Amino acid sequence: MKILVTGAKGFVGKNLCAALKNIKDGKDRTRPELKIDEVWEYDIDSVPEQLSEWCQKADFVFNLAGVNRPKEASEFMQGNFGFASTLLDTLKKYGNKCPVMLSSSQQASLTGRFGNSDYGRSKKAGEDLFLKYQEETGAEVHVYRFPNLFGKWCRPNYNSAVATFCNAFANDLPYTVNDPSVELELLYIDDLVDEMIAILQGKGHKCEFNGLDVEPAQTGRYRYCPITHKVTLGEIVELLKSFAEQPKTLMIPEIPSGSFAKKLYSTYLSYLPKEKVAFPLKMNVDDRGSFTELVHTLNAGQVSINISKPGITKGQHWHNTKWEFFIVVAGHGLIQERKLGTDEVIEFEVSGDNIQCIHMLPGYTHNIINLSDTENLVTVMYCNEIFDPNRPDTFFEKV
């Protein structure tokens, strides 16, 4: 399959082309049945001859080209409707009836706050042109009306509030929220790309629109992505505040699978400057080695790194409710545990050459001994709760 992407250097185009190339090059193994031979990228710096050649050979066209922020309102129609006409005329010229996808916008509904939108009118004109082209030629046309988009590589201070806020928090820039209660419908770029690739496989979702409302329909004229998130500006800002504080608090916010928070966190990270990509951790150092907390979680404890110098024994304490995993990743050591009130000791010889996870059991005093005379013992430690100095639940007793 040979695929033409117009507007390839834009936000959606970059993400789509990267995904298509991964499939083409065999790097994406999740779609083994989809074979892509060529991905042609057309943008404002391309030449007409390329459009002509690729329209002649393409098996599918994603038309993402458009104008969002022109100097003059008249440029909306020229950039959005005008190029769409050129593209379809070129396909007609070569009798190429391959499927064509059009990226449109909610503003094409021309309802509510979009009722007097020059941008919306230009997008609606493009939609009508594509639907008429489908009637005339019999070619499949896939028209998507995108809500607000967000994700990596989205340009801040342009047409995405999420990109603007992410960039501001990542780079310590000022930002303004006029009304925190304003709700946005947001579509994550990876979800959109998955939906667009699905239509290459004869899948995807069809609908009709009632104003801004999606009405799923198997015979609908339009396409839509079923995974969107409705979030207020205030909620977005509060999440970003917590993300920006993570290097200081070590707290990983709750980011359940598929949640808006998870997608926003990944988006936020993509805007970090070099000086924030790495951040220092507080190492608690003494003559025995060091102990460093790595991450905290809201409801699932913390992860730390413990380094023991040669011949050193650490631990020698027990807990009531607190429990831990000890995972030696480098060096050679011995873990001992003894149930309180007994003389029975269970032992585990551990090594970075044979990584395993050892439970530190509640009610058992335990230690970890570096058996090496020359090498440090490095242990990843997970604890089911964040250390609370006011309630440490830790009591000294030798094994």
CB-based contacts of 273, cutoff 8 Å, min separation 6: 170, 171
3-state helix, strand, coil in the chain (%, to 5): 30, 30, 40
Maximal CA-CA distance, the chain: 89
**For 91, phi and psi rounded to 5 degrees?**
-60, -40
Catalytic residue among 42, 119, 224, 271: 119
Burial of 153 (0-12, 13-18, 19+ CB in 10 A): middle
Are the C-beta atoms of 381 and 304 separated by less than 8 Å? yes
How many CB atoms within 10 Å of residue 217? Answer: 12
- Our answer to whether residue 42 is catalytic in this structure is no
**3-state SS, one letter per residue, for 309-326:** CCCCEEEEEECCCCCEEE
Give all strands of the β-sheet with 229-232 in edge-to-edge order. Answer: 148-150, 183-188, 229-232
Distance (Å) of CA 101 to CA 3, 9, 200: 11, 17, 10
**Catalytic residues, which ones?**
119
